[in-house]
Amino acid sequence: MELILIFISAALVNNFVLAYFLGICPFVGVSNKTENALNMGLATTFVMTLTAAATWPIYYYILVPFNVPFLQYVAFIIIIAALVQFVEMYIRKASPSLYRALGIFLPLITTNCAVLGLALFMVLREYGFIESIIFGFATGVGFTLAIVMMSGIREELEFADIPKPFQGVSITLIIAGMMALAFMGFAGLIRG
């Protein structure tokens, strides 16, 4: 039950993109085509789940026992960068077609603040190991949901007559604001 709550909370109610403003850069940058958005979302979800699984033991079995939790930022970012690199190498070997489809998006996941944010929130909220993995996965699902919805809206927008100054980034952000309002409706699902 607890795990389901964590999942719903991270994917819908406290959506990382729309409630915590994490991962805005790819959200604005890669949301112009639905296909790209979906690929980006899936790759990010994968990295996020792995990040949660990798940072948790390192924080609790290495940083805490040696009494150096202040090194967490340095440690986490190195883990994430290494992980992304590793995932990139693996995908290139295992499935060249997927590798080509993801292209430049893959290395860019390192600088997606949602991934580091996820590791930080995990420590802050003192999740257990299983909870952390669920949290990482749910955050990725929430990110995918937001970016795919946004790309769908933006594809329609190409036919809309938008005043010149509002074109591009501006209208995307205003739509994101409306999506954030809509997502607030999910707050009734759980308390706290």
Question: Which one among 31, 45, 51, 112 touches another protein, defined by CB under 8 A?
Answer: 112
- Cα angle: 172, vertex 177, 183; to 5 degrees: 120
Answer for the pair 45, 112: CB distance below 8 angstroms, yes or no: no
Residue number, 4 or 64, with CB nearest to another protein: 64
Q: Calculate the CA 154 to chain-centre distance.
A: 20
Question: Which one among 67, 124, 161, 192 touches another protein, defined by CB under 8 A?
Answer: 124
Residue number, 73 or 86, with CB nearest to another protein: 73
Question: Which one among 95, 184, 185, 189 touches another protein, defined by CB under 8 A?
Answer: 184
Asked if residue 3 binds another protein (CB under 8 A), the reply is: no
Answer for the pair 63, 72: CB distance below 8 angstroms, yes or no: yes
The pair of structure tokens assigned to 34 is 């639905």
- Cα angle: 148, vertex 153, 158; to 5 degrees: 125
Q: How far is the CB of 152 from another protein (least distance, A)?
A: 18
Contact positions toward another protein, by CB under 8 A?
18-25, 28, 70-74, 77-78, 81, 111-113, 115-117, 120-121, 124, 163-174, 176-178, 180-181, 184
